[in-house]
Amino acid sequence: MATLNIWCRHGDWPARREVLRDGFRELRPDLVALQETVVDEAGDQVREIFGDEYAVLHQGRRTPDGIGCSVVSRWPPVRVAELDLCVTGRVDPHDFPGQSTAAEFATPSGTVLFVNHKPNWQVGYERERELQALGVARWIDELATGRDDLHVVLAGDFDARPESAGVRFLTGRQSLGDRSVHYQDVWEIARPGEDGHTFTLENPTIVAEADWSRIPPRRIDYVMIRCDDRGPTLRVHSADRLFDSPTDGVYGSDHFGVVADLESQGSTRPARIA
């Protein structure tokens, strides 16, 4: 399974598109959470990358420019739900679509509820991100009620570092509001002690069109597994950064993505969630 912020059509999109096409073709992921995808009169950016081999689910709410989030899957969804993330008045609909998408899939590792979460991006909006983390956790609990067979994977560009309140809440390090939950960050299992920065000046594209040169390196893109009383319900085989090096001088996006191989007990093969 994987997650990647596509960065719309910014930069040299034709060159980036080829890097992303080739990279995903080689990776052959089963489930992918994509953020900042564009669907407009000029075309479907996700189909430009993945073609017709995969099922593609686009978020229902998008900006006037067609920007939103998408889920790519090897299997058709069994059910789909969306959550409104516009939790305060500090939301510009031209800048922030404001939804999370959950899609349920029957996979070789069991039934998976795959949630693509994209909260507010602004550095000073941690209150919004806290409320959005609380909201998505409550929503997932409702979707998963009575479903002991259900594995939940929460992925996306959270725009928040591991030490932020919203991520600490999701990973069981603190409560928010009236609730506490526990999602296992796959990076912490597979890469203990490694920074795993996904938004960093290692990637020069982050200063190409919107100058982020003053921002310190951050890990803000995640794949997380919902836990039961004994821990994550899926075993983590591996986790890596995705598109973290250039191809002929071209980076796929301004973010590095995250890819994880996960499996349940007794499954025939791990699911590559990218």
Q: What's the token pair of residue 199?
A: 């938004």
- The answer to whether residue 118 scores a pLDDT higher than 50 is yes
Task: Tell me the percentage of the chain whose pLDDT exceeds 70.
Answer: 96
pLDDT digits (tens, 9 = 90+) for 189-218: 999 999 999 999 999 999 877 889 999 999
Q: What's the token pair of residue 206?
A: 């982050």
189-228: buried (b, 16+ CB within 10 Å) or exposed (e) per residue?
bbbeeeebbbbbeebebbeeeeebeeeeebbbbbbbbbbe
CA distances to 68, 70, 115, 136 from 73, in Å: 17, 10, 12, 21
Residue 243 — left, alpha, or beta (φ > 0 → left; ψ -120 to 50 → alpha)? left
199-204-207 Cα angle (round to 5): 80
Please tell me the predicted confidence (pLDDT) of residue 21: 98
CA distances to 9, 30, 73, 119 from 199, in Å: 18, 24, 25, 16
Q: What sections of the chain are H helices per DSSP?
A: 13-27, 45-50, 126-144, 165-170, 186-190
- pLDDT band of residue 96 (cuts 50, 70, 90) is confident
Q: Which residues contact 104 (CB under 8 A, 6 or more apart)?
A: 77, 78, 79, 80, 111, 112, 113, 114, 150
The answer as to CATH 3.60.10.10 being correct for domain 2-273 is yes
Domains in the chain: boundaries: 2-273
Please tell me the predicted confidence (pLDDT) of residue 274: 47
pLDDT digits (tens, 9 = 90+) for 239-262: 999 999 999 999 999 999 999 999
- pLDDT band of residue 265 (cuts 50, 70, 90) is low
Predicted TM-score (pTM) of the model is: 0.94
- The answer to whether residue 129 scores a pLDDT higher than 90 is yes
- Nearest-angstrom CA–CA distance, 116 and 106: 17
CB 259 within 8 A of CB 242: yes
- pLDDT band of residue 35 (cuts 50, 70, 90) is very high
